[in-house]
Amino acid sequence: MLYYVVAVEAVLLVFGFFFPFVYGIANIALIILVVLVVVDTLILYSNRKGFFARRDTLDKLSNGDDNPVQIVLENQYLFPVRISVIDELPFQFQVRDKEFKLNIDSGKSKTIEYDLRPVKRGEYSFGAVNVFVKSPIGFMQRRYRFSQDMMVPVYPSFMQMRKFELLAISNQLTDAGIKKIRRRGNNAEFEQIKEYVAGDDYRTINWKATARKNKLMINQYQDEKSQQVYSVIDMGRIMRMPFEGLSLLDYAINSSLVISNIAMLKQDKAGIITFSNRVQAILPADRRNAQLRKILELLYNQKTGYLESDYEHLYATIKTKINQRSLVLLYSNFESLSGLQRQLKYIRRLAKVHLLVVIFFENTELRSFIDKAATSAEEIYNKTIAEKLAYEKKLIVKELEKYGIQSILTAPQQLSVNTINKYLELKARGLI
């Protein structure tokens, strides 16, 4: 507004050279303008702490999730103000226009809320919260800077982990797409003998205990515990492909955190192995209280590369380091049958020693080409290639089945749900 007033004043002064009465009006207007600017400056700067702001975020952000951010604003002036708030976000978000405009009455507070969705792990540095304050006069504005130089780490998706944990504790996993899987046979461990109550399985009646007690007694069983579940994550270049902003690697890391937590809730032991051209990290399977924190820290610190993954080295390491038969969830990606066959020798050896599940990804981007009606030669070519690539994925599943190897072919967004389903299915079948 000040710029417009100065411009009008300049025009009046120019006309004042030709019309004397206009010159007098211009002088009066100039005096009023100077007085208003001085008064506006004084009331804005007379209160050294006229305004307060604070940015509130989580101690760590969850990768791939919407993380809440709050900016708390408090007007400590004796008059209402108009403000413009610009939050300096980490460069990873590539956002330069996060601006909010609002009015705040004297002595009142307001809170701005918005979400941030990081897609890479690592350290995110926030800048300042810039607040530009205007009084009711509106000729001047004062700049305040708050919450400068905050560093917040972005960890694997602990929000997704907590979501499945709460559903598991409350027996509501079916709400997230987890199937109810019927247990086959009696593959559980004996726990105790207890008195029969309506609804118990009559096939578990213990007739010897019934004769001694002179009332129906049954054997009670519990799920087998302390089985080892290893998430083995391929960190090579084939896992760098992005889907909805997240790389396949980060989808695998988030899923590994979720399945490790679910396994420990089921009283199994969870461990992590990461590899590319060499085995990068090994966390032995355990289910003590500190294990989940160790898994989270290990996954957070993993650095990716662009090298070819060495399955021979992986097999040799697992054979040496894991002595007990375990469930091995191998997160990788194969785009063609020939790509699988180069590594199949080592995958088959691994499957002979452990219960192996090979987890790889559908290319969901191909669906738009496959479903679209082709009307030109170029579209026919694109659709044919897309169908061929999608068919290659199905051939990979068939090739693994031929050697008795379990597999999961999944869209990246459904990775955690499908992995939990497979884990529960294998437990129900008594394979682990």
Q: How many domains does the chain have?
A: 4
Q: Which letter does DSSP use for residue 309 in this model?
A: P
Helical ranges in 223-336 per DSSP H = 248-265, 291-300, 311-321
Residue 420: CB partners within 8 Å, gap ≥ 6? 164, 173, 178, 258, 259, 262
* Minimum mean pLDDT range among 26-40, 61-75, 119-133, 415-429: 26-40
Residues 397 and 268 in one domain: yes
pLDDT tens digits for 304-336? 777 889 999 999 999 999 999 999 999 999 988
Residues 344 and 371 in one domain: yes
CATH number at residue 55: 2.60.40.10
Residues 11 and 56 in one domain: no
Domain span including residue 320: 158-182+225-428
pLDDT tens digits for 403-424? 999 999 999 999 999 999 999 8
155 and 58 Cβ atoms separated by less than 8 Å? no
Residues 326 and 413 in one domain: yes
Taking the C-alpha atoms of residue 195 and residue 390, their distance in angstroms, rounded to an integer, is 55
83 and 108 Cβ atoms separated by less than 8 Å? no
Residues 386 and 297 in one domain: yes
- Average pLDDT of every residue of the chain: 86
Residues 210 and 326 in one domain: no
Reported confidence tier of residue 140, pLDDT bands at 50, 70, 90: confident
249 and 239 Cβ atoms separated by less than 8 Å? yes
In three-state form (DSSP H/G/I as H, E/B as E, the rest C), the secondary structure along 61-74 is EECCCCEEEEEEEE
Taking the C-alpha atoms of residue 62 and residue 346, their distance in angstroms, rounded to an integer, is 35
* Minimum mean pLDDT range among 47-56, 60-69, 99-108, 365-374: 365-374
Q: Which of 258, 264, 313 is nearest to 285 (CA)?
A: 264
Residues 339 and 356 in one domain: yes
Taking the C-alpha atoms of residue 166 and residue 342, their distance in angstroms, rounded to an integer, is 41
116 and 27 Cβ atoms separated by less than 8 Å? no
Residues 126 and 15 in one domain: no
pLDDT tens digits for 24-61? 666 676 777 777 788 888 888 888 889 999 999 999 99
Q: Which of 328, 326, 285 is nearest to 432 (CA)?
A: 326
> What does the angle CA 383 – CA 387 – CA 389 come to, to the nearest 5 degrees?
120
pLDDT tens digits for 197-225? 876 777 788 888 888 888 888 887 655 56
Residues 28 and 151 in one domain: no
pLDDT in the model for residue 17:
54
DSSP characters for 170-200?
A: TT-GGGGTPPP-PPPS--SEEEEEEE--TTS
Q: Which of 30, 36, 37, 33 is nearest to 12 (CA)?
A: 30
Pairing of strands 269-275, 279-286: antiparallel
pLDDT in the model for residue 110:
95
Please report which helix (H) or strand (E) contains residue 229, including its range: strand 228-234
Most confident of 36-40, 192-196, 234-238: 234-238
Reported confidence tier of residue 286, pLDDT bands at 50, 70, 90: very high
pLDDT tens digits for 249-279? 999 999 999 999 999 998 899 999 999 999 9
Taking the C-alpha atoms of residue 82 and residue 136, their distance in angstroms, rounded to an integer, is 8
Taking the C-alpha atoms of residue 230 and residue 33, their distance in angstroms, rounded to an integer, is 74
Reported confidence tier of residue 155, pLDDT bands at 50, 70, 90: very high
Q: Which of 343, 228, 361, 364 is nearest to 285 (CA)?
A: 228
Residues 149 and 171 in one domain: no
pTM, to two decimals: 0.80
Q: Which letter does DSSP use for residue 413 in this model?
A: G
Q: Which of 157, 160, 70, 88 is nearest to 124 (CA)?
A: 88
Give me the long-range contacts of 336-343 (CB less than 8 A, separation at least 24): 336/389, 336/392, 336/396, 337/392, 337/395, 337/396, 337/399, 339/238, 340/396, 340/399, 340/400, 341/399, 343/309, 343/311
Count of positions (residues) in the chain: 432
How many other CB atoms sit within 10 Å of the CB of residue 286?
A: 16
> What does the angle CA 128 – CA 133 – CA 137 come to, to the nearest 5 degrees?
170
pLDDT tens digits for 297-308? 999 988 777 788
Residues 205 and 74 in one domain: no
Residue 239: CB partners within 8 Å, gap ≥ 6? 233, 247, 248, 249, 252, 304, 331, 332, 333
Helical ranges in 290-428 per DSSP H = 291-300, 311-321, 337-353, 366-371, 377-402, 415-428
Percent pLDDT > 70 in the chain is 87
Q: What tokens appear for 146 in the block?
A: 């708050």
CATH number at residue 386: 3.40.50.410
Residues 87 and 196 in one domain: no
